[in-house]
Amino acid sequence: MAEYILGISAFYHDSAAALLRDGVVVAAAQEERFTRRKHDPDFPAQAVRYVLGEAGIELGDLSAIAFYDKPYLKFERLLETYHAFAPQGLTSFLSAIPVWIKEKLFMRRMLTEELNKVGRYKGRNKPRLLFPEHHLSHAASAFYPSPFEHAAILTIDGVGEWATTTISTGCGKDITVQRELRFPHSVGLLYSAFTAYCGFKVNSGEYKLMGLAPYGNPQSEHVARWKKQILDEVADVREDGSLLLNMDYFNYATGLTMCRNERWEALFGLPPRPAESAISQEYMDMALAIQQVTEEIVFRLARTAKELTGAENLCMAGGVALNCVANGKLLREGMFRDIWIQPAAGDAGGALGAALAAYHIWQGNARVPLERDEADAMRGAYLGPEFTRRDVLRVAGRFDAPCTQYDDAGELCSEVAALLAQGNVVGWFQGRMEYGPRALGNRSILGDPRHPEMQKKLNLKIKYREGFRPFAPSVLEEAIPEYFELDRPSPYMLLVAQVAEARCNPLPENYDSLPMYDRLYVQRSDIPAVTHVDNSARIQSVSRRTNPRYWQLIDTFRREQGCGLVVNTSFNVRGEPIVCTPRDAYTCFMRTEMDVLVMGDCLFRKEQQPAWTEQADWRDEFELD
């Protein structure tokens, strides 16, 4: 009889559920995709229903349910922190502690109550409820799906219970923690503090800070001075990558904000940037300074992991592992033979890690061998719901939406390739939804990377977000060397590499002194829509084995239109979770200036659709991220 283990992450941000069958991931999804509330922290009831339904089982069929952290340890950390910083933090204490005493301290009972709402056990034995530590869940999510039998494991995030960073050894079915950095000293919280100070939202705006950093001027006096001030006054970074933060500059331990703004302004001579205001060069330079500091910390931690474990390969998870710029530079350092990063590296991935920890550590099961054509055990991260043509046509009927149905996939791909080459923006909705923060070709918005206005159009007319935000290329795995300085696949969009020199154009002599958007719209290469201001790109390689339909589209675009990659951005607007259902996709399509929507084998053209009438402005529906 098959053995099932359910993993859950919840009650902080990005709640999710994941299900294993005999150690193999069956399904995984974030709750936000179902509730349409970005970073939804609530119990993932709909995600749990989905993963159970995908396997055709009920709660009573589970052997264990694993929650992604230990609530008692987290409560201990809160109490000790408030005690250590007293009398500071009274407002935060009065806000947080009653919730813990009433609910979170009794997590076992609360989880049981929530699970009972999902479904009854129907007289069967209740599954064992397990609580692996937060960073063990991250480490398990990184190591067990990786292709490595032996590896160093580096987990870096804001904070779990006490740990903010861990270095572990993975060997076979075992994970051994070697080193641990503890709260309040945290690489993730340091980066998040700068995210907040630069006017972006914590736990979602870190991507923006990373995307803003290349606009900083490496020769600027600001960058050098601020980097030195960070290292001299704010963060004492040791040779092994551990750090001590000067808590006089931070408020997150006991307060409701990240920074002590008056101290930061006195130190850096720059006030906090108001959200949604214009971004001056100083904030770009500040983003570059903290990005460089973060990269140096990651490099030092990786060197320490190498020394402690002796491993030739590295696995990574935790929110900081989503910093694909640092990842790409670490790979180029050649410290490790290879690096594998969990695509759902943040808290959502903790659900999968908790289930894997239960299967391999609690139950002592050996790892499941990869199939011959599998690069790893994540199945391309295509682990969410999928929908049939009938589902698509039902939505088309609901909105009286005309579409063209294709029985031949080659004909469909040829038509879409031609539409892309004509400058159209295409919503591409196929197969199973992705698990993790990146759209990887099943819930994507696509464009022609050669089009000089494509980045501007996507940001301002489709995504309705800041114009400086970069876009990623989806490139045929076998065509990577033609376009990028990268010698291996990057299936999860977690590595940044330089665009091949032969494809780049000479830059104006005054390039570094140009205003942000003047630099942005310089045609830096023959694929300008995916070439960032420093001639880099965040790469997703597409494998014929893992996603044959998406590979076929890009291959058709290469053969018929002369380009082996497309622009890929997530199928959503700013503040909205990535679309999950055909209805989500059609609604997003009609709310934006997207030209074409392809759902399965059905193609919808905007000019043929009936007028879209909504009583409320959709911008009021989603909180800006």
- The answer for residues whose C-beta is within 8 angstroms of residue 363's C-beta and 6 or more apart is 63, 64
CATH, domain range 181-340? 3.30.420.40
Q: Which amino acid is at 444?
A: S
The pLDDT score that the predictor gives to residue 509 is 86
Q: Is the peptide bond before 489 cis (omega within 30 degrees of 0)?
A: no
Q: How far apart are CA 234 and CA 227, in angstroms?
A: 10
Closest by CA position to 296, among listed 324, 322, 335, 329? 329
| CATH tag, 389-620 | 3.90.870.20
Task: Supply 322's token pair.
Answer: 């989503």
Give 201: exposed, middle or buried? Use CB within 10 Å, 0-12, 13-18, 19+.
Answer: middle
Provide the pLDDT for residue 559.
98
Cα-Cα-Cα-Cα torsion 458, 459, 465, 470, nearest 10 degrees, comes to: 120
pLDDT at 537 (0 to 100): 97
Domain ranges across the chain:
4-137+351-372, 181-340, 389-620
Position 283 scores a pLDDT of 97
Amino acid at the residue 413:
C
The CA-atom distances, in angstroms, between 125 and each of 61, 115, 117, 129, 355 are 9, 14, 17, 12, 19
Q: What is the pLDDT of residue 624?
A: 76
Q: How far apart are CA 253 and CA 88, in angstroms?
A: 10
Q: How far is CA 179 from CA 164, 182, 399, 607, in A?
A: 11, 10, 56, 59
pLDDT tens for each residue of 216-237: 999 899 999 999 999 999 999 9
Please state the CATH superfamily assignment of the domain spanning residues 4-137+351-372 in this structure.
Answer: ATPase, nucleotide binding domain (3.30.420.40)
What is the pLDDT at residue 616? 66
Classify 135 as helix, strand or coil: helix
Give the integer Cα–Cα distance in Å for 251 and 468: 29
Angle at alpha carbon of residue 296, lines to 295 and 301, rounded to 5° = 95
User: Can you tell me which residue has the tokens 């990623």?
Assistant: 472
pTM: 0.96
Enter the tokens of residue 356: 């894997």
pLDDT of residue 387: 98
**Within a 10 A sphere around the Cβ of 19, how many other Cβ atoms?**
28
Residues of the chain with pLDDT under 70: 82-83, 86, 89-90, 93-94, 96-97, 99-103, 105, 122-124, 615-618
Closest CA relative to residue 573, chosen from 469, 495, 430, 491: 469
DSSP letter at 460?
I
Assess whether the region 4-137+351-372 and the region 389-620 belong to the same CATH fold: no
List residues bridging with 166 in a β-sheet: 155, 180
pLDDT at 518: 86
| Amino acid found at 34 | F
Which value, to the nearest 10 degrees, does the dihedral of the CA atoms of residues 519, 520, 521, 523 take? 80
Give the total residue count for the chain: 625
